Structure 1
Amino acid sequence: MSHFSSLAEVLQHQAMSRPDVAAVTVYSDRPGERPSLTFAALHAQAAHLARQLAAETAPGDRALLIFPSSVEFVVAYFACLMAGVVAVPMMQPRRNANHDASAAIIADCTPRLALSPASDPDPRGLLRERLAAHGIRHLPVALAPEPAPLDAVRPNADGLAFLQYTSGSTSLPKGVMVSHRNLIDNLAMMRERLGNHADSAHVSWIPLYHDLGLIMNLLQPIYLGAPCVLLTPSGFMHRPLNWLRAIHEHRAEVGAAPNFAFDLCVDRFRPEQMEGIDLSSWKIALNGAEPVRAATLERFAATFAPYGFAPEAMRPAYGLAEATLLVTAAKRGSLPRTLDVSAKALKAARIAPPEDAADRHVSASCGSPMTGLTIAIADLETRRPLPQGAIGEIWIQATSVAGGYWQRPEESEQTFRARLETDAPGSGGSWLRTGDLGHLDEAGELHVVGRIKDVMIIRGVNHYPQDIEATVAASHPSLRRDHGAAFTIIDEHDIERIIVVQEVERTQRRDIAEAEVVAAVQAAVVNNHDVALHKVVLIRTGSLPKTTSGKVQRSLTRLRWLEGTLEPWNLSGDAEDRSAASA
């Protein structure tokens, strides 16, 4: 389908060739409600709304899309594509504006319109209040009983399809400018690498304002002409095994999620809840959006093998919004590859075989670069490409790399138009600097180590926060997996110290002996990383700052610790719902 210039043309093609296939089905949080649209109905509804958008906007105007996972979001998104309006998917504004990205996004992209469901009453008036303060016209969206056709679409291959705001895990969110050509090229790469097709139904719970949810789990199946089934994020967080049940019910081949989601399914596993579920149709269990852990791959495959899940279905991958989405993944049907490396050498930013069993660290490969995409591992100081097995910054060249950040020319120049020291003068091609650390193994597959800004250097030794966080969570049953943050501070003696903030398990709150838990954490970190923690902070369930994809916001956690605004573990009440919203 690479001959199409936009996804709006793709939808028109699917509406003509597969009109009666269910393009999107949504599992509402209300029991029994599963609204659905065929490809023909989706195209008609989007075209109807596009007529109204075209009458109220000029090409290139921005429109906020503020929806839960719903058929109305899908209609609004494609209406923007048809009308030449730049869609800006965004989560619902939160009352606490200090910890809410919506205000920063609105100020950054200056939207003309904001679209949201007509059925959403906005009882607190927060959305209306926020939009009125910025002079933004609010357009409620409902499905039309008799949608009117659209005469013509306005997009072009070089124009913007949408702004994908980064998660803000290390800084304020920035709007990545994704063109129609970027989007079509990355969707074609995914189809070729993963082997998906028109019968590859996708089931997802990832929010649609996140790139993994939007592109991999919604736009990829529409590009293929395949069905897409959407669950709500809150529904998954409360009952994660319902995701697996939906995969079973729809005989889905594809389900993608961050690493923590696969851990959560194992942690909440109950045999009685899996009765009758057959996962043999699941061919692509794509694990991305945060560091992939070899232990997670092993635990998930072992737990769900009795229900038909095949180990080769697990598909670790690497991607980022700045490259539209997917950068690396292994081909369908291959077992995930792991590499045993020395933990000591890793701390020195080197890759070497482990000295003994105690020195063994298992690294999960995220697969090889997509066809048409080039990866270089660059030295942070010299910008020279590094050989196989050396750790450096991951640099990317591809047609799917976006044009830059919205209205940020200096940051765009530094990030999207980098040059390697060895690039010939006038050679043309520039590189995307990802800000991520990694290395290529002997098979040319990528192993991601961490983010440059997160690396902690203690007495000249590199420590990666995700490794310490994993050790902490495994040190005591009262601690919640994938809900900790490690970061450094400078003490009064100008010495760098490590702080760990860790959520407790909700079900364990009443029985926690804090001194015992802290001692277990300290001992585990010393034994596994040869470094002492300055302080262990236990906090309330669901209160750790996380991005929309479930990434830990270490810099924001650090700021809240310094401000003294983290919520202690022994406060009354429960913040589980906030955890669901942030995932």
Structure 2
Amino acid sequence: MRGFSSLAEVLQHQAVQRPDVAAVTVYSDRPGERPSLTFAGLHAQAACLADQLAAQTVPGDRALLIFPSCLEFVVAYFACLMAGVVAVPMMPPRRNANHDASAAIMADCTPRLALSPTKDSDPRGTLRERLTERGIRHVPVALAPEPVVARGWLRDATELAFLQYTSGSTSTPKGVMVSHKNLLDNLEMMRARLGNHTDSAHVSWIPLYHDLGLIMNLLQPIYLGAPCVLMTPSGFMHRPLNWLRAIHEHGAEVAAAPNFAYDLCVDRFRSEQMEGVDLSSWKIALNGAEPVRAATLERFTATFEPYGFDARAMRPAYGLAEATLLVSAADRGAETRIRDVSASGLKDARVAAPEHLDDISRIASCGSAMAGLSLAVVDPETRRRLPPGRIGEIWLQASSVACGYWERPAESEATFRARIEADSERPPGQENSWLRTGDLGHIDTDGELYVVGRLKDVMIVRGVNHYPQDIEATVAASHPSLRRDHGAAFAILDDEGAELIVVVQEVERTQRHSLSAPEVAAAVQAAVVNNHDIALHKIVLIRPGTLPKTTSGKIQRSLTKRRWLDGELEPWNSANQPADQPADSH
């Protein structure tokens, strides 16, 4: 790809080279409504709005983008990039302000403007009231009937493009400062590694305020000059197979989603809904944004191979907002590597061969580091590199690593400019400044990265490491009344400082009136003891849809723990069955 100075120049280039290609098409939740914009139309709309924004701001001002998945969001995002306004994509505020990140984001980035659709998506006036209280000017956005491009809008590569707020799965959301250069470098890394091109149509349902939805599923196709099709998150959650039907309809090559989405497609599979669907065009089924499960890859492939899905399309990947997005993935067409390793070894923070059949744990590779990116596995305490076979914190270096956290110099220094002690493996002249990811993993001798969990989430019981996602998977599979990917495991301390494990788990909607809590608790306890050699201190069953999750579907374990301790979770209940089942804590 030719060198660009900014995303604004990318869009201008595509508007000239591919003016009549449909850049963005949106599937509305209303049947039959599919508005779209060509590259020329998108550029003209964005440039027109950029003129309006420039008259109300100075370069560097922040603007909240509060939109559902719609054309107006795409226009507003590029208008901000053109005008030098720092875009801040944000989920529309929820009614329950106590459990909403929007107030924290507004306070953190102090925006001058807030952009949202002209169509009244705030009938109660809640959003306008919040903006007025904070002195934020509201700018309603609608598509111009006949936009005129008055002038070109080009920005410098070093300028800040947008703030990507972290999901808040383990802490308060922080604004990651992403420059135009960070974006361009990561988009080029993706293109080169995944083999994407101008005919690589993308289909996505992931919210555009999430980095995977915004960068992978919207900005990557615009960077390529390829079509992008957007669906609504609610539409996917209600009818996940419609995502696959859209991939078929548009002959899409690329569609990315978190691991739970692939499980949901299998769980909701109905053969009549897949009639006539051909998935053979799908070349990159990117699986990221949360731990990738080997079982999920196999279940999805087995279910949808009869419809043309190729197992080699499944592409586990690793990324994070602090690195702009993608860090590792395998090349297009490469088979996914799945390793059988020792379950007991993982508990001891090492990767080894299983000692017997009952000691097998299966882990999926997230591929090797993108070109131009360096990875290291480091002991988080000593800050020294770990030898092969040991699990440690994943550290990385790349030009796509963001500038730091907005207005948080101390945290930026600690996270973005960490140093590896006594680093003999560092090539001469290479800067010893690394990004600490907070994720735990292992790199094998072929350079393949295996991610096993979050550093802050690891629980240590009697000196043994336990990863919450492993326990959560065991719990969900222990009884048919429990929802897959809707449980949280975390540790509390007893009076002597020992860690005790609590599991909070949603029940299935279809089972909530008939399940027996003692029966479920017994099944859960037995499965965890048999698979992990520990007893749970407490098993808490809650109503479906009430487990705290981020906007991308990540389980918020720390928030779940806090709400449980404060008695704020909504328990499952029936007339005679208690929801909170104590368990033996020895």
TM-score, structure 1 as length reference: 0.97
Return the match for 2:551 from 545, 548, 560: 548
Q: Does 1:450 align with 2:460?
A: no
Whichever residue aligns with residue 556 of structure 1, its letter is L
Q: Is contact 2:8–2:154 with CA below 8 Å preserved after alignment? A: no
Larger deviation: 123-132 or 258-267? 123-132
Matched, 1:364 2:367: no
The one-letter code matched in structure 2 to 1:13 is H
- Tell me which residue corresponds to 1:577: none
1:142 deviates by 0.2
The alignment partner of 1:510 has SS state of coil
Query: CA shift at 1:336, angstroms?
Result: 0.5
Instruction: Report the residue type matching 1:475 in the other structure.
Output: S
Q: 2:466 aligns with which of 438, 463, 466?
A: 463
Query: Are residues 1:130 and 2:133 paired?
Result: no
Q: 1:475 aligns with which of 478, 493, 502?
A: 478
Secondary structure at the counterpart of residue 272 of structure 1: helix
Offset of residue 383 of structure 1: 1.1
Provide the residue aligned with 1:225 in structure 2: 225
List aligned pairs for 1:38-57, cutoff 5 A: 38-57=38-57
**What are the superposed Cα offsets for residues 118-173 of structure 1, whole Å, 9 maximum, x if unpaired?**
01341111110110110000000000001121413252100101000000001100
Which amino acid in the other structure matches residue 203 of structure 1? V
Deviations 1:218-252 (A, max 9, x none): 00000000000001000100100000000000000
Pairwise CA distance, 1:493: 4.5
Q: Is the 8 A contact 1:2 1:188 kept in 2?
A: no
Give the superposed CA RMSD. Answer: 1.2
Q: Do the aligned partners of 1:540 and 1:571 also contact (CA within 8 Å) in 2?
A: no
Match of 1:345 in 2: 345
**Aligned-partner SS, 1:511:** coil
- Which residue of structure 1 aligns with residue 206 of structure 2? 206
CA distance in 1, matches of 2:415, 2:129: 35
Specify the code of the residue in structure 2 equivalent to 1:36: S
Structure 1 residue 494: Cα displacement: 3.5
Greater mean alpha carbon deviation, residues 441-450 or residues 305-314:
441-450
**Residue pair 2:6, 2:154 contacting (<8 A) in 1 also:** no
1:368 Cα deviation after fit:
0.1
Larger CA deviation: 275-284 vs 114-123: 114-123
Alignment correspondent of 1:274 = 274
Residue aligned with 2:453, SS = strand
Aligned partners of 1:44, 1:202: CA distance in 2, in Å? Answer: 22
CA distance in 2, matches of 1:305, 1:557: 37
1:97 CA displacement: 1.4
Distance in structure 2 (CA, Å) of the matches to 1:162 and 1:321 = 12
Following the alignment from structure 2 to structure 1, what is the Cα–Cα distance between the partners of residues 149 and 198?
A: 26
Deviation at 1:571, TM superposition (A): 7.5
Query: 2:416 corresponds to which letter in structure 1?
Result: F
**Offset at 1:491?**
2.5
Contact persistence 1:380–1:393 (CA under 8 A): yes
Asked whether 1:114 is paired with 2:114, we answer yes
Assess, with a 3 A threshold, how the Cα gap between structure 1 residues 326 and 427 changes in structure 2: closer, same or farther.
closer
Q: Does 1:517 align with 2:508?
A: no
Q: Using the TM superposition, give the Cα deviation of residue 2 of structure 1 relative to its aligned residue in structure 2, in angstroms.
A: 4.7
Q: In structure 2, how many angstroms separate the alpha carbons of the residues matched to 1:496 and 1:369?
A: 35
Alignment of 1:323-472 (within 5 A): 323-423=323-423, 428-472=431-475
Q: CA–CA distance in 1 between the matches of 2:412 and 2:17?
A: 40
Partners of 1:475 and 1:521 within 8 A in 2: yes
Return the letter of the residue paired with 1:359: D
SS of 2:371's partner is coil
Which residue is equivalent to 2:582? none
Distance 1:150 1:388 in 2: 58
Query: Structure 2: which 5+ runs fail to align?
Result: 576-586
Q: What SS does structure 2 have at the residue aligned with 1:94?
A: coil
Kept in 2: contact 1:389–1:442 (CA 8 A): no
User: What residue identity is the alignment partner of 1:146?
Assistant: E
Task: Give the superposition deviation at 1:429.
Answer: 4.0
Amino acid at match of 2:188: A
Alignment length, in residue pairs?
572
| Separation in structure 2 between the aligned mates of residue 129 and residue 171 of structure 1, nearest angstrom | 27
Q: Aligned match of 2:499 in 496, 501, 519?
A: 496
Partner of 1:181: 181
Partner of 1:533: 536
Instruction: Name the CA distance, whole Å, in 2 between partners of 1:171 and 1:430.
Output: 23
Structure 2 residue identity aligned to 1:347: K
Contact in 2 for aligned 1:240/1:264 (Cα 8 Å): yes
Task: Give the secondary structure class of the aligned counterpart of 1:11.
Answer: helix
Q: Per-residue CA shift, 1:453-510, capped at 9, x if unaligned? A: 0000001000000000000000011110001000011124433210000011111212
Asked whether the equivalents of residues 420 and 432 of structure 2 are also in contact (C-alpha less than 8 Å), the reply is no
Structure 1, 507-516 or 190-199: larger mean CA deviation:
507-516
Secondary structure at the counterpart of residue 223 of structure 1:
helix
Instruction: Determine the structure 2 residue equivalent to 1:12.
Output: 12
| Alignment match of 2:509 (pick from 506, 510, 523) | 506
Whole-angstrom CA distance in 1 between matches of 2:429 and 2:243: 51
Aligned to 1:575: none
Tell me the CA shift for residue 203 of structure 1: 0.3
Shift of 1:357: 0.9
Return the alpha-carbon distance in structure 2 between the equivalents of residues 320 and 29 of structure 1. Answer: 29
Asked if structure 1 preserves the Cα contact closer than 8 Å seen for 2:212 and 2:325, the reply is: yes
- The residue number in structure 2 matching 1:302 is 302
The residue type equivalent to 2:147 in the other structure is P
- Whichever residue aligns with residue 331 of structure 2, its letter is K
What are the residue-to-residue correspondences of 1:247-326 with 2, within 5 Å?
247-326=247-326
Which residue type is aligned with residue 482 of structure 2?
L
Query: Partner of 2:567 in structure 1?
Result: 564
AA aligned to 2:17 is S
Distance in structure 1 (CA, Å) of the matches to 2:432 and 2:48: 41
> In 2, Cα distance between the equivalents of 1:9 and 1:121?
32
CA–CA separation in structure 2 for the residues paired with 1:428 and 1:190: 24
**One-letter amino acid matched to 1:72:** E
- Name the CA shift for 1:571/1:215 in 2 (closer, same or farther; >3 Å): farther
Moved more, 379-388 or 402-411: 379-388
Q: Structure 1 391/253 Cα, relative in aligned 2: closer, same or farther at 3 Å?
A: same
8 Å contact from structure 1 (residues 458, 496) kept in 2: yes
Cα distance in 2 between the residues matched to 1:132 and 1:491: 46
- One-letter amino acid matched to 1:54: A
Contact 2:513 2:574 in 1 (8 A): no
Query: Deviation digits for residues 259-310 of structure 1, max 9, x if unmatched?
Result: 0000000000011111110000000000000000000000000000000000
The CA distance in 2 between the partners of 1:222 and 1:135, in whole Å, is 34
Residues 84, 153 of structure 1: 8 Å contact kept: no
AA partner of residue 23 (structure 2): A
Q: Give, in whole Å, the separation in 1 of the partners of 2:414 and 2:522.
A: 44
Letter in 2 for 1:169: S
Identify if the C-alpha distance between structure 1 residues 121 and 471 changes in structure 2 by more than 3 Å, giving closer, same or farther: closer
Alignment-derived partner of residue 92 in structure 1: 92
**Misfit runs of 4+, over 6 Å:** none
Contact 1:50–1:150, Cα closer than 8 Å, also in 2: no
Cα distance in 2, alignment partners of residues 309 and 178 from structure 1: 35
Q: Secondary structure at the match of 1:56?
A: coil
Structure 2 counterpart of 1:459, which letter? R
Aligned match of 2:578: none
Paired residue type of 1:74 = V
Matches of 2:386 and 2:84, distance apart in 1: 42
CA distance in 1, matches of 2:319, 2:150: 35
Q: Name the CA distance, whole Å, in 2 between partners of 1:491 and 1:506.
A: 33
With over 3 angstroms needed to count, the CA separation of the structure-2 counterparts of 1:553 and 1:145, relative to structure 1, is same
Say which SS state the counterpart of residue 393 (structure 1) adopts: strand
> For 1:392 and 1:79, how far apart are their aligned partners in 2?
42
Give the TM-score taking structure 2 as reference length.
0.96
Secondary structure of 2:513's partner?
A: helix
